[in-house]
């Protein structure tokens, strides 16, 4: 029998949403790994496969899919309560990851704020490294962490995705007008 931390006990669940395909690797007790939004199901599946997931039915799949679809449709708090089962890591990393869940939807916090919350006020850079290794993005909202000067800083999905997620959640204003598309030379 596989242990709760065994990769073979992880089931892949992928949701199609208006923002793209997002997935999770479910253990017996919660989400062990998650993806950001991808353009294709294959990309989300490939990322989950690298975590050791197996295809298979899970009784929580419909709930997870519904939560991801609700989040992508603008219900920023949709992912807040589903259980997360963090992989083994150093205690400091675990503390940082758990603290991410304390950041309310529609708000942001700095790396320094997290450092103070975990009792290491001088460890902002170490917090940044731990946030960068977050195995459960969206569910542990690392996109809500910004620089001390209010700027958007590093994010595994790129700064455009970070901006889009913060706009979706209401932490940043949405642009009034979409950027005009640039036509390629010779096309009309």
- Residues with active-site annotation: 142
Give Cα separations from 2 to 33, 47, 60, 140, 182 (angstroms): 17, 22, 19, 26, 53
Residue whose token pair is 């704020």: 113
The contacts found for 4-11 with CB under 8 angstroms, 24 or more apart, are: 4/28, 4/29, 4/85, 5/87, 5/88, 7/51, 7/52, 7/53, 8/52, 8/54, 10/51, 10/52, 10/53, 10/54, 11/53, 11/54, 11/55, 11/56, 11/57, 11/58, 11/61
- Alpha carbon distance, N-terminus to C-terminus of the chain: 61
Give the H/E segment covering residue 85: none
Contacts of 127 by beta carbon, 8 Å cutoff, 6+ apart: 96, 111, 112, 114, 115, 118, 120
């Amino acid at each position: 029998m596989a242990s709760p931390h065994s990769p073979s006990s992880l089931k892949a669940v992928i949701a199609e949403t208006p923002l793209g395909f997002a997935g999770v690797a479910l253990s017996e007790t919660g989400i062990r790994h998650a993806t950001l939004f991808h353009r294709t199901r294959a990309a989300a599946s490939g990322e989950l496969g690298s975590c050791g997931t197996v295809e298979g039915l899970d009784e929580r799949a419909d709930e997870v899919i519904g939560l991801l679809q609700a989040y992508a449709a603008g219900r920023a708090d949709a992912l807040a309560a589903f259980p997360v089962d963090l992989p083994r890591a150093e205690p400091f990393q675990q503390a940082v990851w758990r603290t991410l869940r304390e950041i309310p939807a529609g708000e942001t916090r700095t790396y320094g704020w997290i450092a103070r919350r975990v009792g290491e006020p001088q460890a902002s850079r170490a917090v940044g490294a731990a946030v960068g290794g977050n195995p459960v993005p969206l569910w542990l909202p690392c996109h809500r962490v910004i620089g001390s000067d209010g700027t958007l800083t590093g994010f595994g999905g790129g700064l455009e995705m970070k901006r889009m997620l913060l706009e979706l959640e209401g932490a940043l204003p949405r642009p009034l007008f979409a950027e005009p598309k640039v036509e390629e030379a010779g096309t009309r």
